[in-house]
């Protein structure tokens, strides 16, 4: 500093001093700017889609888990269907889905009390910038696969490439957005997301399943297998009975058992997954105590089906859980790939013909409500709400296809008199069908152009689905429509549903409070002809694609809510489904040998938080 002062005090050097001063100021400004940028991209223990994580860095356990839960015992699941593969990451085959969470872990884990927040698991920290143009994960040096080998950055890069090129359609779609991936060191992975314009992508990558590079054969990865995968999770596959059962045994050397995110979780020494091909047989097995819990979906059964000795004595406990996420909603889905459902006027007419009031009273004991749209019971639902300024701005390019009543919130689903013979809705439906080119010929509805009768098939797989389909069949008969009801086993149902080999099916899409990239998988245009996605209706709508893009780009919660509601309006306007009913509660029945925490997560019931009371369990066989 002294030499600098002498220099600038010299005659003729004022200009040089000014230049040096400006350079110094510029350096300071750049330094400040870099520091500010670094501050926006600090390493953190968690990442939230919107806002900040609820749990601090020093949290000890999640509020919905009991850290003092007893360890030991066995939890037996009863699953409807079958399996022919232990690889849940490919399209081919019917996979054992719990492998994904119990055997194979991801970089981060969900906080089940928040809309979409992830906490460190295999990755100890996560780092991203305000624009989310990159994400860096730093692995926990303690992380190990079940064979004892460490989880390294090369395994993360390998998993990303493998699933991008050979994984399920959602994996291929998500991971292809990454511009560049690199490993600065053995425990660090950085993904460059430049140009993705997807603020959810860092979280999607955080949920990426991590597979061991040394234990996966890329050449055979897309083939079904009954060999248990090597994972880093708390359980290992120890026994497989093809198509019937899988046994998972807790890894005594599990590396992550003391992590705060895991305290109170994974309490059973053994988890057995037993498969049943038929729903009534599955329920009878539960009554005999052959498996420990069931999630009930049939109101009739929940209402009067639990009058058996173990339920009367209190050995079987029935829990009613009210989650905070959008209500699961059941729909009859039009496969618009089929010419019979290509005209929206036909789809609107058939929606008018479904008599919800009659079905709810006679079959469901009035336990259900009915809402159009896909985010019922939450702030994300557009049904009954007028569009705000942001929604109108987003939907302006597509205004011609969104009816005014859907925009102003006045649209309502048709309400019948509950008699099964409502003439008002029948007349309105026949008018729409006439506009679409169909006329009644006596008691048969025929195409005006070809004289072919209006017929289609409703595919079902459960007793409850069949009862709804038969009721709808009667409604359709009044309009001259011949609908056949075909009952198939769960295996065939899943295969035909995944391959879009149906006219109409019943389905539900479970939604969270933070819908994101999976919405492309549900109803994005690119998914319409891609087998294995959940775009069962075959929607191809630029408005839907644009609204999904908008919700992914939203930075603030209010903008996000508006984008999701705009998506809901576009889906309602497309009339891709007939809304059946909304479920506001989860019905759980469990044998009293199983305990659960008093606290319930925002997402609802969580078997991974349960534990055994400790009584001896006799080995059960089907």
* Better-scored residue on pLDDT, 375 or 35: 375
Q: What's the average model confidence in pLDDT over 431-444?
A: 97
Q: Is the pTM of this model over 0.85?
A: no
**Phi then psi for 412, rounded to 5 degrees?**
-135, 150
Span 509-521, pLDDT tens digits: 989 899 998 999 9
Q: What's the average model confidence in pLDDT over 403-407?
A: 97
How far from the centroid of its chain's Cα atoms is residue 382's Cα? Answer: 20
pLDDT of residue 614: 77
* Better-scored residue on pLDDT, 464 or 230: 230
CB-based contact 373:383 (threshold 8 Å): yes
pLDDT of residue 615: 56
Q: What's the average model confidence in pLDDT over 407-429?
A: 94
Alpha-carbon distance 328 to 319, whole Å? 17
Just give the CATH number of 235-325+585-612: 3.40.190.10
- Please provide the average confidence, as pLDDT, over all residues in the chain: 91
Give domain limits for the chain: 235-325+585-612, 329-582
pLDDT of residue 6: 31
Residue 255 bridge partners (DSSP): none
Q: What's the average model confidence in pLDDT over 480-491?
A: 95
Residues 329-582: name the CATH superfamily. Answer: Dipeptide-binding Protein; Domain 3 (3.10.105.10)
Segment among 34-48, 101-115, 237-251 with least mean pLDDT: 34-48
- 411 has a pLDDT exceeding 90: yes
CB-based contact 131:283 (threshold 8 Å): no
Q: What's the average model confidence in pLDDT over 288-313?
A: 93
Fold matches, 235-325+585-612 and 329-582:
no
Residue 134 bridge partners (DSSP): 192
- 269 has a pLDDT exceeding 60: yes
- 119 has a pLDDT exceeding 90: yes
pLDDT of residue 367: 77
CB-based contact 597:608 (threshold 8 Å): no
pLDDT of residue 539: 97
Terminal Cα-to-Cα distance of the chain (whole angstroms): 86
- 16 has a pLDDT exceeding 80: no
Span 181-211, pLDDT tens digits: 999 999 999 999 999 888 999 999 999 999 9
């Amino acid at each position: 500093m002294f030499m600098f002062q002498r220099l600038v005090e010299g005659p003729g050097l004022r200009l040089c001093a000014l230049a040096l001063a400006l350079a110094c100021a510029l350096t300071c400004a750049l330094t400040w700017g870099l520091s500010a940028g670094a501050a926006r991209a600090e390493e953190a223990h968690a990442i939230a889609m919107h806002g900040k994580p609820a749990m601090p860095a020093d949290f000890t356990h999640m509020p919905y888990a009991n850290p003092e839960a007893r360890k030991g015992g066995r939890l037996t699941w009863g699953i409807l269907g079958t399996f022919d593969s232990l690889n849940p990451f490919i399209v081919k085959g019917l996979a054992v889905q719990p492998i994904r969470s119990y055997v194979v872990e991801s970089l981060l884990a969900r906080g089940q009390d928040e809309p979409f927040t992830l906490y460190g698991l295999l990755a100890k920290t996560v780092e991203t910038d305000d624009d989310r143009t990159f994400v860096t994960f730093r692995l926990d040096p303690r992380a190990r696969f079940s064979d004892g080998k460490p989880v390294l950055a090369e395994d993360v890069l390998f998993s990303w490439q493998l699933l991008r090129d050979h994984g399920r359609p959602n994996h291929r779609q998500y991971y292809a957005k990454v511009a560049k991936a690199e490993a600065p060191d053995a425990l660090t992975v950085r993904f460059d997301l430049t140009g993705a314009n997807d603020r959810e992508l860092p979280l999607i990558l955080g949920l990426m399943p991590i597979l061991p590079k040394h234990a996966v054969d890329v050449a055979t990865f897309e083939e079904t297998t009954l060999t248990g995968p090597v994972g880093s999770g708390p359980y290992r596959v120890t026994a497989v009975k093809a198509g019937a059962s899988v046994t998972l045994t807790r890894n005594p050397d599990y590396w992550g058992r003391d992590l705060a995110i895991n305290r109170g979780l994974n309490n059973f020494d053994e988890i057995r997954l037993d498969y049943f091909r038929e729903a009534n047989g599955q329920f009878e097995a539960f009554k005999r105590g052959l498996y420990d819990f069931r999630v009930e979906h049939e109101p009739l059964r929940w209402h009067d089906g639990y009058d058996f000795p173990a339920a009367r004595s209190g050995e079987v406990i029935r829990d009613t859980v009210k989650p905070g996420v959008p209500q699961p909603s059941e729909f009859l889905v039009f496969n618009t790939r089929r010419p019979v459902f290509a005209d929206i006027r036909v789809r609107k007419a058939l929606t008018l013909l479904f008599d919800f009031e009659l079905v709810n009273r006679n079959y469901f004991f009035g336990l259900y409500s009915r809402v159009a749209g896909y985010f019922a019971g939450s702030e994300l639902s557009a049904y009954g709400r007028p569009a705000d300024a942001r929604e109108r701005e987003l939907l302006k390019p597509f205004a011609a296809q969104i009816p005014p009543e859907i925009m102003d919130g006045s649209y309502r689903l048709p309400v019948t008199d509950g008699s099964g013979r409502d003439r008002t809705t029948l007349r309105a439906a026949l008018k729409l069908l006439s506009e679409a080119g169909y006329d009644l010929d006596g008691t048969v509805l025929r195409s005006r152009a070809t004289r072919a009768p209006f017929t289609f098939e409703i595919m079902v797989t459960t007793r409850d689905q069949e009862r709804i389909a038969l009721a709808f069949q009667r409604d359709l008969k009044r309009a001259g429509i011949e609908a056949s009801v075909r009952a198939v086993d769960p295996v065939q149902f899943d295969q035909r549903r995944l391959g879009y080999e149906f006219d109409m099916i019943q389905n539900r899409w479970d939604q969270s409070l933070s819908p994101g990239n999976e919405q492309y998988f549900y109803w994005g245009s690119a998914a319409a002809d891609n087998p294995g996605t959940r775009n069962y209706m075959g929607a191809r709508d630029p408005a839907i694609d644009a609204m999904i893009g908008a919700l992914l780009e939203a930075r603030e919660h209010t903008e996000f809510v508006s984008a999701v509601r705009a998506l809901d309006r576009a889906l309602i306007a497309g009339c891709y489904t007939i809304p059946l009913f909304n479920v506001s509660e989860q019905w759980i029945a469990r044998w009293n040998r199983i305990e659960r925490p008093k606290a319930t997560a925002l997402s609802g019931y969580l078997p991974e938080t349960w534990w055994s009371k400790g009584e001896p369990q006799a080995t059960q066989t089907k």
